[in-house]
Structure 1
Amino acid sequence: MTMLARQPQPLTFPRLAVKPVWNFRADGTVMDLAAPTVNEICFVDMARALAGARRFDGRGIPIAQHCVMGAQAILNEGGTPLEAALFLLHDAHEWLLGDWTEPAQTLLGSLLPSLAVKSAIAQMKGGWDAAIYAAANLPLPEFWTTRQRKLVKTMDQRMCRAEAIAHFGPEAANRFPPSDPPKTSGAICIWGTARAEEKFAEYCHAFIGPDIIARQAALAARTRRRA
């Protein structure tokens, strides 16, 4: 399942804002959140952060677990390792941007022009998604096939519905469109932070490759030293 370890795609990405938006890295240095770049992508830091952040405003499973279990379900349902890899990283931007839950986005859209809110959020996510998938040597979302795009979106929705039922009971199903439960490898029970980090890292090694993960860790470390 391991992808070939090639150099990141030689791409630069447009700034998201004119002025820098400073954000802390794990070591206390700061990065410009408005400047997506492959140089900042570290899958080790990503695994740790996504394992420590939980869905449904902190009441659900870790984001890392959501990504792993959805990737498992894609494989269990006959999907390819590439499709599973695309799903594994579909929420990876939340490592840097946080989890913008649907209710929070809807509320914000009711206070401000909703199209502007949706566009801004999509632009933020899209900017960092491009850098993340490029660092992983995977197709950027803008180049996904129709099947890949639909598969990732549909699995995300199915996982969200299944997680809501697991956390809040069967009546939660009424808040979502009907869908088949994803064929996860095991029941949706909340993993501890350590397990979520371990499994996300394991899947990154399987789908992205240890060479790419090591390369990105070294690249991110050099970037921090130059900051």
Structure 2
Amino acid sequence: MAKGTGATRNSRNTPRAWQRMLSGRRLDLLDPSPMDIEIEDIAHGLARVARWNGQTIGEHGFSVAQHSLVVEEIAAHIQPTLEPRWRLAALLHDASEYVIGDMISPFKAALGVSYKDFEERLEHAIHARFGLPAKTPVPIKKLIKQADRACAFFEATQLAGFSHAESLDFFGAPPAGYSLTIDPLAPNDASARYVHRFHVLSEAAGYESVPAAHDTE
């Protein structure tokens, strides 16, 4: 039976500070352990978290999982020589949202530093789990942010009701030579594509040997 380090840190007199994942892992939200993180849990969660708080058109919400796939693609378009490990970092750039959800930027700002600290701890644990540096180098972080804003431009104009002028004002112009027509995927499809892309990039980066975190009795 799968067990996580968070399983023994709770008592009846202590508020629960862990979340049980479908894999059976129990992720301690205050002190997340890399060994309690599974890519399938991340993909499953992100595929069910909607961008724009769900305020988009279409049969399905535009999930963070699908958004992350596009961001990785745009980052590689901007910088074609981007190493696989940094493409993997782009794919995982919003991975913490499988726990905390996709909070819109104004709400993040209102919550302040404590939210950012929590997000950073979880991001460090995710990176450690999958072989990436705890802190992404500044140039790569800027590249991923550029790709993220480009994806947001397409999302805003095609799904969220923004005019072209509004999107340019908020997100800037997308990179030259890149175009995107968004077709929001059903959650199971988005999850499957995310996991597949993770394994492709992990293998290309030489991280495929990272063992699964499942414990057995």
TM-score, L = length of structure 1: 0.74
CA drift of 1:104 comes to: 2.7
For 2:66, the equivalent position in structure 1 comes to 65
CA drift of 1:94 comes to: 0.7
CA drift of 1:24 comes to: 2.6
Query: For 1:89 and 1:75, how far apart are their aligned partners in 2?
Result: 14
For 2:167, the equivalent position in structure 1 comes to 173
Give 1:126's aligned amino acid: E
Give unmatched runs, 5+ long, in structure 1.
1-17, 110-116
How many residue pairs end up in the alignment? 194
Counterparts of residues 34-113 of structure 1 (less than 5 Å): 34-58=30-54, 59=56, 60-77=61-78, 78-80=80-82, 81-106=84-109, 109=110
Query: For 1:214 and 1:97, how far apart are their aligned partners in 2?
Result: 28
Give 1:48's aligned amino acid: H
Query: Comparing 126-135 with 166-175, which one deviates more in the overlay?
Result: 166-175
> Is the counterpart of residue 163 in structure 1 residue 158 in structure 2?
no
**Change beyond 3 A, Cα 1:131–1:33:** same
Deviations 1:74-109 (A, max 9, x none): 222324123321110010001112212123334xx2
CA drift of 1:188 comes to: 1.8
Contact 2:130 2:210 in 1 (8 A): no
For 2:137, the equivalent position in structure 1 comes to 145
Query: For 1:186 and 1:161, how far apart are their aligned partners in 2?
Result: 10
Give 2:107's aligned amino acid: A
**Change beyond 3 A, Cα 1:104–1:190:** same
For 2:115, the equivalent position in structure 1 comes to 121
**Change beyond 3 A, Cα 1:87–1:123:** same
Moved over 6 A (4+): none
Give 2:184's aligned amino acid: I
**Change beyond 3 A, Cα 1:22–1:36:** closer
Specify which structure has the higher proportion of helix: 1
DSSP 3-state at the match of 2:146: helix
**Change beyond 3 A, Cα 1:181–1:61:** farther
Q: Which protein has greater RCO, CA pairs closer than 8 Å, 6+ apart?
A: 1
Question: How high is the sequence identity, in percent, across the aligned residues?
Answer: 23
DSSP 3-state at the match of 1:52: coil
**Change beyond 3 A, Cα 1:75–1:139:** same
| Superposition RMSD in Å | 2.8
Give 2:182's aligned amino acid: I
